[in-house]
């Protein structure tokens, strides 16, 4: 069980690294949000694997489901924001959002 947990945590670390790399290097707003989604998948896996390893799978599942509901609301709001940004700037380039400076 211990090596199973460490194997999965290794995968979680890899996915988190991947998403942070994407967040640091991409310029397209939608790609940035895809990277955030990948990060959330890694965290969900961490929850469920830890719950499975500690014999608290039901509690882990209920927390993960709450997290998924929050994730959907965040995605819907963020994508609506992205559409509005595109309508104003005609671009998805994060570099062109410097107009938002005070």
Partner 1 sequence: MGQSMYIFLLVGFVGFAILAIFLRDLLKAAISLAFSSIFLAMIFFHMKAYYVGVFEISVVAGLITVLFIATIGLTKGQGDVKERKIPLVIFPLFFIAFLFLDVVIMNALKTQMAVLSGKPEVPHFPQVLWGFRTLDLVGQIGVIFAGVFAVLALFRKGGTHE
Residues 15-54 that bind partner 1 (CB under 8 A): 15, 17-19, 21-22, 25-28, 30-31, 33-35, 37-38, 41, 44-45, 48-54
Which residue's CB is nearer to partner 1, number 73 or number 100? 73
Cα(94)–Cα(13) distance, integer angstroms: 26
Which residue's CB is nearer to partner 1, number 93 or number 101? 93
The reply to whether 88 sits near partner 1 by the rule CB under 8 A is no
Element (H, E) at 33: helix 29-53
Which residue's CB is nearer to partner 1, number 76 or number 101? 76
CA–CA distances in Å: residue 29 to residues 3, 42, 47, 50, 83: 38, 20, 27, 32, 10
């Amino acid at each position: 069980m211990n090596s199973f947990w460490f194997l999965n945590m290794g995968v979680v670390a890899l996915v988190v690294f991947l998403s942070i790399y994407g967040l640091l290097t991409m310029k397209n707003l939608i790609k940035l949000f895809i990277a955030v989604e990948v990060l959330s998948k890694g965290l969900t896996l961490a929850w469920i694997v830890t719950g499975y390893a500690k014999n608290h799978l039901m509690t882990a599942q209920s927390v993960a489901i709450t997290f998924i509901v929050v994730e959907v609301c965040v995605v819907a709001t963020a994508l609506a924001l992205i559409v509005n940004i595109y309508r104003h700037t005609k671009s998805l380039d994060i570099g062109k959002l410097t107009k938002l400076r005070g």
